[in-house]
A and B are shown apart, each in its own frame.
Chain A
Amino acid sequence: MMMNDMASLGDTQTQAPDRHIGDVILDLQGISLSFGGVKALTNISFDVREHEIRSIIGPNGAGKSSMLNVINGVYRPQEGEITFHGKVRKDMDPHRAATQGIARTFQNIALFKGMSVLDNIMTGRNLKMKCNLFEHALYWGRAQKEEIEHRKKVEEVIDFLEIQSIRKTPVGRLPYGLQKRVELGRALAAEPTLLLLDEPMAGMNVEEKQDMCRFILDVNDQFGTTIVLIEHDMGVVMDISDRVVVLDYGKKIGDGVPDEVKNNPEVIAAYLGTSH
């Protein structure tokens, strides 16, 4: 697997934190979600282990994005139990998910179009900034110190993603591939423990996909971030994932390491096609 190559390459430059996959940090049991009569997800169970790259694949409308929305609290499932970091979740909203260290990117770019790249990524730090409105109004002392301190962190993210030259550009003016990268930057600025990526490579050309793959692997490798990935490019998924879960019509039809999934007849029939 490419993953091992990357890890061994990385060893020479930075001493990577232990990339070995740890315990289960997110456990979903019997998740069902419906909108009126439409069943988006039916009795889905799977888990995500620490430091792993976990992919969710499936044909269009299979419920992949709904699954991510359940994980970060945008949707609340009617049935099922979610355990995150050993705690069973009762009530959930996106804000609380963010405070618990879950960040995500969106299928359709959801950047703040009127703001610069720098400001967009700075919003990722907002939960870690403690000053109040009145301190902001003065922009003096603690507020200014805080702004500078977090700017440093944001600059690290900018360096990591190699977008130094566009930091002052309004994101609306950037090409698609770079916008996707800025969106990843905004999520990374929050220093998440769990990163949800919804089709980070959709609509990209080969070079852009390679760049994005490298960033995803580096995030996983250097920061030890656990990643849940939705992607349609099977080459990428099979290459970089540790484990893959396959959805079809809201049901789970396969789960396991890429080789296992590739040879699962049900998955082949539903998704990969019989010629595979």
Chain B
Amino acid sequence: MLYREAGQFKASYQEDQQIFPIRQDKLGFIAILGFFFVVLPLIASEYWLQAILIPVLIFSLAAIGLNILTGYAGQLSLGSAAFMAVGAFGAYNFILRIDGMPFIVALLLGGLCAAAVGVAFGLPSLRIKGFYLAVATLAAQFFIVWALVKFPWFSNNSSSGVITAQHVEILGFAFDTPVLKYLLTLAIVAVLALVAKNLVRSTTGRGWMAVRDMDVAAEVIGIRPMRAKLTAFAVSSFYCGVAGALYAYTYLGTVEPEGFNLDLSFKILFMIIIGGVGSIMGSFLGAAFIVLLPIFLNVAMHALFAGSMPAGLGSNLELIIFGGLIIFFLIVEPHGLARLWQIGKEKMRLWPFPH
């Protein structure tokens, strides 16, 4: 009853092309933003901020990146973690080697490094598709991690490539508490999510989707598949790179190349499969789901078999449930949680009437 668009008339195309054309959606979104920006920093514990909210946000950003490439432009990639590593090590080196480098600029430059690397490894996409392309991006995954360990310059000659992120400071203001780090991460993720949404609803995004859905027709109507694919690789890797830099600077503090391994790439891929392929909101839902699921399972199992649980059962059970969910989503709802949310909204519009 509350969710109705009746009576909301749009008198201009501008009104019709808003991100949230329905008033209730817009209000709901503002409420959620307010909750995350104002309420959560006040009530959330340090553990929640540092161990749950910050990683959810960072993974959401990486998932947006992969979603742009896989969900919108249709190019399968298994190299997201490697692009995150490029961003993290890039930002680290810019701050390390250039005096007075502002943090935000270093973050963006790290992202741009990742974008350049992404374009280089995206070149095979001009000739190959699908699984074969996934294997080509797998090469990026292994090569980049190898290169970061092999050449000590990247980690300023530390043993086994471990880097310790410098203190985050913007205009003399230190972001050293979990609350401040959380707010910084949230602000960056919110802005970049808006940018991603703008990209996918403009000509750039239509070009990506056209190439994804039917590349011959896209070419005939005047879209250059080459350009669309390479911009998708660039933008996607940029997002992964910024996510990687945040991963080092606001989440872990200390990272090593091995931390950005294939497992992490798969984790991000699962996020977009469960969250929703080709949906910005789905990236957030998927990231939240995958970060929260193990925590939830852990708590649930402790409550169920308090103390009597065999060691190792918990983590194995987690893998089993994980795998089961992936298969479930691929079969039942390939468009993930985002699609379920959309179906729910469509039902809400009519409720309590069936039609």
Is the C-beta of B166 less than 8 angstroms from some C-beta in chain A?
Answer: no
Q: Which residues of chain B in 1-47 are interfacial with respect to chain A, using CB atoms and an 8 Å cutoff?
A: 12-14, 17
Distance, CA A186 to CA B221, complexed state (A) = 8
Q: What's the minimum C-beta distance from B349 to chain A, rounded to whole angstroms?
A: 13
Could you tell me if A144 and B14 are in contact, using CB atoms closer than 8 angstroms? Answer: yes
Contact A190 B210 (CB under 8 A): no
**B71: nearest chain-A partner, CB-CB:** A114
B198 interface hit (Cβ, 8 Å): yes
CB-CB < 8 A to A139: which residues of B? Answer: 198, 201-202
Mark each residue of chain B from 193 to 230: 1 if its CB lies under 8 Å from any CB of chain A, else 0. Answer: 00100110111111101101110111111111000000
Please measure, in the bound complex, the distance between the C-alpha atom of A104 and the C-alpha atom of B223, giving whole angstroms.
14
Residue A28 CB within 8 A of the other chain: no
Q: Using a Cβ cutoff of 8 Å, how many contacts connect chains A and B?
A: 102
Tell me, yes or no, whether A124 is within 8 Å of chain B by CB.
yes
> Cβ of A126 and Cβ of B217 under 8 Å apart?
no
The answer to the question of B278 belonging to the interface, with a C-beta cut-off of 8 Å to chain A, is yes
**Given contact pairs A133-B199, A148-B17, A115 touches B210 in the complex (Cβ within 8 A):** yes
Size of A's binding interface in residues, CB under 8 A: 40
Label chain A's interface by main secondary structure.
Answer: helix
Q: Which of A98, A143, A155 contacts B221 (CB 8 A)?
A: A98
Would you call B155 an interface residue if the criterion is a C-beta within 8 Å of the partner chain's C-beta atoms?
Answer: no
For A112, the closest partner residue in chain B by CB is B213
Query: A82–B223 Cα gap in the complex (Å)?
Result: 23
User: How far, in whole Å, are A200 and B199 apart by their CA atoms in the complex?
Assistant: 33
- Min C-beta distance of B68 to chain A, whole Å: 12
B217 touches A114 (CB 8 A): no
Closest residue to B212 on the A side, CB-wise?
A114
With both beta carbons as reference points, the residue of chain B lying nearest to A130 in the complex is identified as B203
Chain B residue with the shortest CB-CB distance to A73: B220
Q: Mark A80-113, 1 if CB is under 8 A from B, else 0.
A: 0000000000000111011100011010001111
- Given known pairs A136-B202, A148-B17, the reply for A124 and B213 (CB within 8 Å) is no
Tell me, in angstroms, the Cα distance from A129 to B204 when the chains sit together: 10
Interface positions of A (Cβ within 8 A of B):
72, 74, 93-95, 97-99, 103-104, 106, 110-115, 119, 122-124, 126-127, 129, 131, 133, 136-139, 143-144, 147-148, 151-152, 155, 186-187, 190
